Amino acid sequence: MRLRATMIGSGLALALLAGTAAIAQQTQKVTVAVTAIVEHPALDAARDGVKKALDEAGYKDGTNLTFRYESAQGSPATAAQIAQKFAGENPNVIVAIATPSAQAMVTATQTIPVVFTAVTDPVAAQIVKDRQAPGGNVTGISDFSPLEAQFDLIKELVPSAKKIGVVYNPGEANSVALLNAVKALAPARNLQIVEASAGRTADVSGAAQNLVGKVDAIYLPTDNTIISALGTVLAVGTDNKLPVFTGDTESVQKGSVASIGFDYFQVGVETGAVVVRVLKGEKPGTIPVKNASGSNLVINAKAAAAMGVTIPAAVQARAKQVIN
């Protein structure tokens, strides 16, 4: 009986120790550092989604979480400086938003867990070697746009369109990947793609203006440089009755005609769920990279009218949101 009592006592002691350890792990303060190449609605929404997922998982900023955020303000050089700074500070997890910031971060550290988001093609950008088995210290969420659905929408809203202008930054690997994919799908839709490159936000307005009279609509991919100067392209579209379509739905709220795209807040929530897995002990390199889930049709009826587009009732009925 004494032996049995001793064993039971030992078991209870071990259980109590395990419970104490679990509680300590939950209350231990962790640091998540977030870097983004630039501030614009889609990337800001992704950041906020990450924070929301952490909060729902019990990581509360100011209590058991330090949530840090820095934007490179569109500068790859600044992105590299932030990456070096974060690597030196050794947070528990680093979240890199958009391709240039993710590239800078994986160059700066091969040991600190890095979870990227809003990266179009992480393999082409040399962020990971394999989506299914990323290896090393990196994983994340890709946001490769549903291009076929987007260009079918353009043809539906502008049936006479033959030439589509694509404004992009050739220095962004994500944009080059999207441009190549757009050029591949265009012939089946009897479309010709007219390229307009802009390496800096200051060049975006001129690139868009150069398309006037040459194309029937403008398409802006999820290019950080171009979307940062969205207003200048929208002005060109409105002034010339030239419809502007975008790869992200947040830009529709700002004044593009329409898009079928991701809800970037939800992309951030998905990313945050991966961050939580890493904080709980999973190795990033063992977590497959996945594409963001879901896509929504969003229409800006006021912008469409200003740019000479009539939205059919059937299309409006399919939309998750119509902005009037």
Q: Is the pLDDT of residue 2 over 80?
A: no
Q: Is the pLDDT of residue 23 over 70?
A: no
Same domain, 124 and 272: yes
Same domain, 235 and 211: yes
Same domain, 182 and 133: no
pLDDT tens track for 62-75? 999 999 999 999 99
Any domain includes 42: yes
User: Which has more confidence, 128 or 2?
Assistant: 128
Chain position carrying tokens 């509680």: 23
pLDDT tens track for 85-144? 999 999 999 999 999 999 999 999 999 999 999 999 999 999 999 999 999 999 999 999
Structure tokens at 88: 């030196």
Pairwise CA distance, residues 38 & 30, whole Å = 25
Any domain includes 129: yes
Any domain includes 19: no
Calculate mean pLDDT across residues 171-195: 96
CATH number at residue 238: 3.40.50.2300
Residue 128 has φ and ψ, to the nearest 5°, of -135, 160
Same domain, 252 and 115: no
User: Which has more confidence, 10 or 213?
Assistant: 213
Same domain, 227 and 316: yes
User: Which has more confidence, 29 or 20?
Assistant: 29
Give the pLDDT of residue 27: 58
Any domain includes 3: no
CA atoms within 13 A on the CB side of 200: 3
Domain extent for 270: 29-143+264-291
Pairwise CA distance, residues 144 & 136, whole Å = 23
Q: Tell me how many domains the chain contains.
A: 2
Structure tokens at 91: 């947070």
Q: What is the dihedral of CA 152, 153, 157, 159, to 10 degrees?
A: 0
Calculate mean pLDDT across residues 277-296: 95
Same domain, 206 and 317: yes
Calculate mean pLDDT across residues 42-57: 97
Give the pLDDT of residue 179: 97
Any domain includes 8: no
Any domain includes 221: yes
Same domain, 94 and 168: no
Same domain, 110 and 68: yes
